[in-house]
Structure 1
């Protein structure tokens, strides 16, 4: 995370925590820490919160849920840390976990601390100082796909990972589960989207493609590029939603964020990663490349694409509900209700074959 590309900022008042308590806990679990850390907050991320702890001679990264989240909800920090610890040996791009805390007396919530990976995290636009021409951008994009494929090839039966899965029926559980989450996240005036949910239920494949480790939030702003070679992805972050599931569901979740150069202006306004750049593959090309490199049948892709968008719509609406209820005052969430409405409309266009 370079200072120029992923600058940590002052901690928002509502996201502050007791630094002295955290420092005391960390010095009991991590050798060699000295002094009191300077604490800043990374601006990326709309779910869990990420902080930079700058000790003299060493930087650490702390992850915690947003205030008001329940410990055993989708913001389960201990689960995320366990997944990362179990996956590290087979998928070396996972940051090392250094400490876990489930004692709520420290900051009122579970949290964990990991190593800080030195490198570049891409945000909305591709920094010109990386010096990537369209050929280089294409190489970066193909490397991104390969990192996802490598994850899907990890042995999901090994200890610490196999416990994540619930067996056959992943797709069906996801369709029903995210539909229920949508209904629970409703706010005044939100789109019921019962037609979209009915289509997903009727159109889902009868069987999963495979059972493998999936990230469920695989995006350019969750990968770290080497400072020496920006074409080399050296780290993958944000394992909150990782599980054992269907790989095409993972790809669909990833491409829900993939805004390309010819998308409509509203979808363009949602862009958080440089997938519009010359040299980037289109969504259709990404799917074809994934199918070619894995040998997987991608002929039923429309279901996975629409489910990925629906799932993102639910996540957006869940965040907006927290804002509407006053559980966060972060102004960036004020427009999330309208964004969720747009995503429902986008799903309908794809269902109608007009995407």
Structure 2
């Protein structure tokens, strides 16, 4: 590993918040006194900035004198009743902290909508590098370094999947048994409810998934959105994962479904241009494992085994398409003005084509 000629310091590699997007400001007149009542040590008015990543829940940096906090809230506009549950996400993090130390410490949970108009929570800031679409300038990894980083990130998912929910007193996180069946039924229903007049039907994909679904391979704690841009790296040792973020969809279920979800975002250097356009993490770099290598590595480390991973890969892509389509549905119907979502329809439609090509090649 080397640093740039400008001798970048670790501080310059740390993930930075930016200006707040239009229409997504926080009401500080109500928020500041409320947080002071919960955390008396806070002094003054914080500087508020917003982290640019993500297309779902919103993440803000509250910079007080001598203390940084992170605030998480749902998106503005109309949202599905069961979606963006901030209270559950905070409680999941609290439950995991004793057995999975990479989660941040939750400091405030608020269900009083008179404060900022929604549920939200506040947690400690894990200061570090977040590998977003590209690595930060100045972090120049060799091919070997990149491989090491890749394996360490996958290892943290494997470590999560090794947690026994029974012995760890985490059985309340989800329903467990029957997870695969619930996911195929649930995501199919969500897609049909989010269809717009310019959207693909996905009926062939949904039919195939319904017919080919396997039984659950295990019942474990799963993240459901595990990606490079949801991990935090130590700025003094960028191979070390010090945090895992975004636990909104965490539950109990089949860990191979979780791996399939992660690989839906795993864009390789030789993927087609449409897939490259969707890349939001640096998995294209030389040294990164391919999707097949990730599956082989994961199976070897966990001891799980399936004859073919096709079902989980196609499920992950379909689920991603549903998430994209749900976000686009809100934009299409004027429930959000965020112009980042205008082209999401093209991504969702492309994913149907990709799923069908994989189905045609599958031996299942």
Is this a same-fold pair by TM over 0.5?
yes
Aligned equivalent of 1:311, options 309, 319, 344: 319
What is the CA–CA distance in structure 1 between the aligned matches of 2:34 and 2:222, rounded to whole Å? 32
1:1-355 aligned within 5 A: 4=13, 6-70=15-79, 72-157=81-166, 161-205=170-214, 207-353=215-361
Post-superposition Cα deviations, 1:13-41, rounded to whole Å, max 9, x if no partner, equal 31112112111111111231000111111
1:61-102 alpha-carbon deviations (Å, 9 max, x no partner): 000001134585220000000000000110000000000000
Query: With structure 1 as the length reference, what TM-score do the two structures score?
Result: 0.96
Change (3 A) 1:160 1:327: farther
Given that 1:71 and 1:77 are in contact with CA atoms closer than 8 Å, whether structure 2 keeps it comes out as: no
Equivalents in 2 of 1:69, 1:48: separation in Å?
13
Cα separation, partners in 2 of 1:241 and 1:119, compared to 1, 3 Å:
same
Q: Secondary structure at the match of 1:232?
A: strand
Whether the aligned pair in 2 keeps the contact of 1:14 and 1:328 (CA below 8 Å) is no
CA distance in 2, matches of 1:138, 1:184: 41
8 A contact 2:265–2:280 mirrored in 1: yes
Q: Secondary structure at the match of 1:352?
A: helix
The total of aligned residue pairs comes to 354
Aligned to 1:319, the other structure's residue is in SS state: helix
Backbone CA RMSD of aligned residues: 1.7
| Shift, 1:158, TM fit | 5.4
Structure 1 residues 2 and 25, CA, compared in 2 at 3 Å: closer, same or farther?
farther
Paired residues of 2:199 and 2:345 also in contact (CA < 8 A): yes
Structure 1 gap segments, 5+ residues each: none
CA contact (8 A) 1:215 1:250 kept: yes
Instruction: Quote the Cα distance in structure 2 between the aligned partners of 1:70 and 1:128.
Output: 36
- 8 Å Cα contact 2:132/2:281 also seen in 1: yes
Q: Is this contact kept in 2: 1:83–1:160, CA < 8 A?
A: no
Q: Any conservation in 1 of the 2:133–2:281 contact (CA below 8 Å)?
A: yes
Distance 2:288 2:234 in 1: 19
Aligned position for 2:7: none
Distance in 2, matches of 1:38 and 1:158, equals: 42
The change in CA–CA distance for 1:13 and 1:65 in structure 2 (over 3 A counts) is same
TM-score by length of 2: 0.94
How far apart, in 2, do the equivalents of 1:235 and 1:315 lie?
A: 24
